[in-house]
Amino acid sequence: MRMVFFKRSRACSIHFIIGILISLLFLFDGKYAYSQDAKLSQITLLVDNIQRSVDFYQRLGFSISYQKNSSLADGRNSIAHEKYPLTSDPKSELYVIMSDASKEGTNIALLAYEKPPLANARGNLMGLGVGDFVLVINTEDINFLYNRMDEFGARFYRRIQRVENNDLSENVIMYNFIVYDPDGHLVEVISRINNS
């Protein structure tokens, strides 16, 4: 009889503790589980030739909203030199922030180091692996951006094509192309067209 009571009271205790934990989660309304105001504001790309990268992203519709050239001799003028684990000890830093036309989307920051330039930390520039990413840009006029990339001489992974979209409405047709930026980052450009 005592054994059965002990098993029941132990099970009740576990359920009681779980109930309290769940109540605490509701009490704090999840504000410690995640930040409700978190927003991706910028993606920083380390690049080799900042002018070529600026030209590439301008052709995709981004414009320069901030730029700074810094000497790293004293380390005080650096944007990111002290923050990041670099592959060399450069003496100058070039930093450009590019924004989309709305000025409300995620910015693309371009960061280049010189004297000496950074070594390439990526092994395979043609394939993706852990730690890589794909930038995705939405547009209403995919043909315009495709032609701009073609004029730029960009290296395409996939030319413009219609994409089968099992998860979207049947009234939406989607097209995309995938292109490498000058430093090998993959950029997917997508256009969704309402077919109704």
Instruction: State pLDDT tens for residues 133-159.
Output: 889 998 989 999 999 999 999 999 999
Asked whether the predicted pLDDT for residue 87 surpasses 70, the reply is: yes
Q: Give the mean pLDDT of the chain.
A: 77
* pLDDT at residue 193 in the model: 82
- Distance between CA atoms of residues 65 and 41, nearest Å: 14
- What is the residue type of 192? R
13-22, 58-67, 70-79, 113-122: least confidently modelled range: 13-22
Give percent of the chain above pLDDT 90: 32
* 88 and 118 Cβ atoms separated by less than 8 Å: yes
CA pair distance 113, 97, nearest whole angstrom: 15
Query: Which residues, other chains included, contact 66 with Cβ-Cβ below 8 Å and sequence gap of 6+?
Result: 95, 96, 97
The residue type at 140: E
Given a cut of 50, is residue 178 above it in pLDDT?
yes
Cα of first residue to Cα of last residue in the chain, in angstroms, is: 71
Asked if 80 and 111 count as a contact pair (C-beta separation under 8 A), the reply is yes
Tokens of 1: 């009889």
Cα→Cα distances 67→37, 54, 56, 114, Å: 27, 11, 16, 16
Please name the residue that has the structure tokens 């054994």. Answer: 3
- The mean per-residue pLDDT over the stretch 94-111 comes to 89
Q: Which is higher by pLDDT, 39 or 22?
A: 39
- Give pLDDT, residue 9: 46
Predicted pLDDT of residue 7: 47
Return the pLDDT at 41.
81
67 vs 149: CA distance, rounded Å: 23
